[in-house]
Structure 1
Amino acid sequence: MKAAIIYASVHHENTKKVVEAIAGENVVDLIDATKEKERDLSGYDLIGFASGVYYGKFHQTVLNFALANLLANKNVFLLCTCGGSAAFQSIEEVVKSKQGKVVGKFSCKGYDTFGPFKLIGGIAKGHPDDKDLADAVTFYKGIIQK
């Protein structure tokens, strides 16, 4: 099974830590949506989208990448890091518009100093931690074994 994860990790590299943990133990192509706007995804059996949560949405570069490049009827999994609550709706809407199938979702805490959290020194300090990263790897292995 050939897999890719398209991600954006722009503040504290929370999401990058998660996707690199998965790629460190599995054969997965990592595509940074902040650097690549287009990629042929036709050769991938499984596609992940990963982002921090910004005011309740995935990072706009990931949403734009998915809109431009996701092909119809692909199996997709979703990953997010967040200081508060997980928020998948923005990316789920894009996947649905492409008739994709979401085969799993994973979220974990991520150090967050975005917006008003900067005033208090951030939230979810120390995350993602080793347990979060191990849980992400376990989640991914569970998907590819289905």
Structure 2
Amino acid sequence: MKVLIIYHSEHHDNTKKLVEAIAQQGDVTLADTSNARKINWSDYDLIGFASGIYYQKFHDDILKCAKEYLPQDKQVFFLYTCGVKRNTYIDSIKQIADSKNAKIIGSYGCPGFDTFGPFKLIGGIAKGRPNNEDIEGAVKFFADICG
């Protein structure tokens, strides 16, 4: 199975740590959002979207890539890192996937070091995250969905 993961990792490379660990597991192509248009998305069986959380949703660049480049009827999954974990972070990316008739096969989220906005004043939250356990959890999630 050929896998493409489109990611946006900013500030502390929290999300990049997850996708790089996953990429070591097999036939996985990583592309940050700036390179997404150069890829033939149709060549891939499974497409992942990975992002830190910005204003309660995936980064705008990820949402834009999904709207513009995600082919119809693909299998997709979502990965995210966040300062505070909530269940609603995938709502915006899920809506786009649904509009493309994509089959969503899962999502994985974990804490990531966050110094955005007021968190900077207190030295950040979720320090040391994602840690090895978080990264191993992402790898296990990926192995499980690829079965």
Greater helix fraction, Structure 1 or Structure 2:
2
Q: Judge conservation of contact 2:6–2:36 (CA < 8 Å) in 1.
A: no
2 CA distance for matches of 1:77 and 1:58? 13
TM-score after normalising by structure 2: 0.95
Moved more, 6-15 or 80-89: 80-89
Secondary structure, counterpart of 1:104 in structure 2:
strand
> Mapping of 1:121-132 within 5 angstroms?
121-132=123-134
Which residue matches 2:40? 40
Which residue matches 1:76? 76
TM-score after normalising by structure 1: 0.95
The alpha carbon displacement at 1:97 in A equals: 1.1
Which residue matches 2:60? 60
Question: Which consecutive residues of structure 1, in runs of 5 or more, have no partner in the other structure?
Answer: none
Summarize deviations over 1:98-134 as a string: whole Å, max 9, x none.
1111101100110001122111111000000001011
Report the residue type matching 2:119 in the other structure: F
1:136 has 2:138 as partner: yes
The alpha carbon displacement at 1:37 in A equals: 4.3
2 CA distance for matches of 1:130 and 1:2? 26
Secondary structure, counterpart of 1:112 in structure 2:
coil
Query: Stretches of 4+ moved more than 2 A in 1?
Result: none
CA RMSD of aligned residues (A): 0.9
Which residue matches 1:31? 31
